[in-house]
């Protein structure tokens, strides 16, 4: 750690600032050579963030080019380039023979956000509109879709790296996808909805804790669930959160001594009485509702349905479908707040059981 004491400094207008004792730490710089983002951009981002977080202020002197280069084993050219671009942007001023000083604390720029979803559906649409509303006039958003295709994911990440102020990514849960995120600036990349275990230790995270969210919701609804003899989870194998949901269901079933099973689809089987169907996909929901009507089974009595993700049509179909769901609208609002206020946190979005006739 390096400190510099400055008792009097002259700014670029040749006026004297008040006498100060300035202790400046190099530790505010965040340089990660493993990232694909150019080093000079990482330096620029670190300086801007330090100003925004009030770690440094107007008139404060930055460490010298040599000091930064030596501390982080960098090329002096990279440090010069960062300082010169900050000077061109009016953030820094150089004083010959003395060094670089903060000449403006107005680093505010419009947020230009890269938003990468797997796909668009009703609840992601709600998230998107609430995010846009929360961001307001402070920024713009370009939205992309990877459709859970790793090649598409790779192309979108590589083609857009360096073009945005922030990156919001609904990831693919693979080590390759994790490596591809190194093309993006770590403190400017937000992981949303899924990927708690894989990504939350490295990036700001806002999303679901699938295992514990489901476990708590099933306990909350036990007064209605206990009339069923078994719970059948129907979820396609490609769903990336399948492990978390299954683990939450297993933990609940062990405590309540209720039978459970996991299927990728219902197939041609008839619905079984005294069974609660836990569904991750809305297509499967429609199929089961139609089969229940064909078999003349009463929802909420002879069989139960509990569907993932709240949408408007579930309020009215078959008298109301019970859901377990995170609040996607709130997720959008919270995401906007995280970006505007530069919050680099791990936030588990609220999750709840909504009781309706089908349970």
Q: Please write down the HEC assignment for all residues of 68-122.
A: HHHHHCCCHHHHHHHHHHHHHCCCEEEECCCEEEECCCCCCCCEEEEEEECCCCH
pTM of the model: 0.76
**pLDDT tens by residue, the chain, 359 residues:** 333 333 333 343 434 333 232 334 577 788 887 777 788 888 888 888 888 888 888 888 888 888 888 888 888 888 888 888 888 778 889 888 888 999 888 776 678 899 999 999 888 999 999 999 999 988 899 999 999 999 999 999 999 988 888 999 999 999 999 999 999 988 889 999 999 999 988 999 999 999 999 999 999 999 999 999 999 999 988 888 889 999 999 999 999 999 999 999 988 889 999 999 999 999 899 999 999 999 999 999 999 999 999 999 999 999 999 999 999 999 999 999 999 988 999 999 999 999 999 99
Dihedrals phi, psi of 209, to nearest 5 degrees: -110, 85
Element (H, E) at 278: strand 275-279
CATH code where residue 97 lies: 1.10.10.10
Last residue in a domain, options 102, 130, 162: 102
Range of the domain at 58: 26-102
Q: Tell me the two tokens of residue 143.
A: 């939205």
Specify if 8 maps to a domain.
no
In this structure, the answer to whether residues 214 and 315 fall within a common structural domain is yes
CA 192/CA 208 separation, integer angstroms = 8
In this structure, the answer to whether residues 60 and 97 fall within a common structural domain is yes
CA 67/CA 56 separation, integer angstroms = 17
In this structure, the answer to whether residues 201 and 336 fall within a common structural domain is yes
In this structure, the answer to whether residues 39 and 81 fall within a common structural domain is yes
In this structure, the answer to whether residues 40 and 181 fall within a common structural domain is no
* DSSP structure class, residue 359: -
Q: What pLDDT is recorded for position 8?
A: 31
CA 125/CA 284 separation, integer angstroms = 21
Cα-based torsion angle of the residue sequence 223, 226, 227, 229 in order, rounded to the nearest 10 degrees:
170
DSSP 123-183: HHHHHHHHHHHHHGGGEEEEEEE-TT-HHHHHHHHHHHTTS-SEEEE---SSHHHHHHGGG
Specify if 317 maps to a domain.
yes
In this structure, the answer to whether residues 84 and 184 fall within a common structural domain is no
């Amino acid at each position: 750690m390096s400190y510099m004491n400055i008792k009097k400094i002259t700014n670029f207008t040749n006026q004297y600032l008040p006498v100060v004792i300035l202790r400046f730490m190099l530790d505010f710089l965040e340089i990660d050579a493993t990232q694909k983002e150019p080093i000079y951009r990482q330096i620029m981002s670190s300086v801007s963030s330090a100003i925004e977080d009030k770690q440094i202020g107007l008139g404060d002197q930055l460490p010298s080019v040599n000091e930064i280069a030596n501390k982080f084993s960098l090329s002096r050219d990279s440090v010069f380039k960062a300082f010169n671009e900050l000077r061109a942007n009016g953030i820094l001023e150089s004083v010959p023979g003395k060094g670089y000083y903060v000449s403006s604390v107005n680093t505010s720029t419009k947020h230009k956000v890269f938003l990468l979803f797997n796909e668009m559906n009703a609840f992601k649409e709600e998230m998107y509109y609430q995010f846009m509303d929360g961001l307001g006039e402070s920024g713009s958003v370009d939205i992309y879709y990877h459709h859970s295709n790793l090649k598409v994911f790779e192309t979108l990440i590589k083609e857009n790296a360096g073009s945005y102020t922030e990156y919001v990514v609904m990831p693919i849960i693979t080590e390759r996808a994790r490596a591809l995120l190194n093309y993006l600036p770590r403190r400017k990349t937000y992981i949303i909805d899924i990927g708690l275990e894989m990504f939350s230790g490295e990036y700001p995270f806002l999303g679901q804790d699938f295992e514990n969210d489901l476990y708590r919701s099933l306990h909350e609804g036990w007064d209605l669930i206990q009339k069923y003899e078994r719970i059948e989870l129907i979820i396609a194998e490609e769903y990336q959160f399948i492990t978390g949901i299954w683990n939450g269901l297993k933990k609940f079933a062990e405590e309540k001594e209720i039978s459970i099973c996991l299927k990728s689809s219902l197939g041609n089987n008839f619905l079984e009485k005294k069974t609660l169907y836990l569904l991750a996909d809305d297509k499967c929901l429609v199929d089961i509702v139609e089969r229940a009507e064909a078999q003349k089974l009463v929802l909420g009595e002879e069989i139960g349905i509990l569907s993932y993700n709240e949408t408007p049509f579930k309020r009215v179909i078959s008298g109301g479908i019970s859901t377990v769901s995170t609040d996607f609208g709130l997720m959008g609002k919270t995401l906007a707040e995280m970006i505007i206020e530069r919050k680099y946190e791990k936030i588990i979005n609220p999750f709840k059981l909504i009781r309706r006739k089908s349970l």
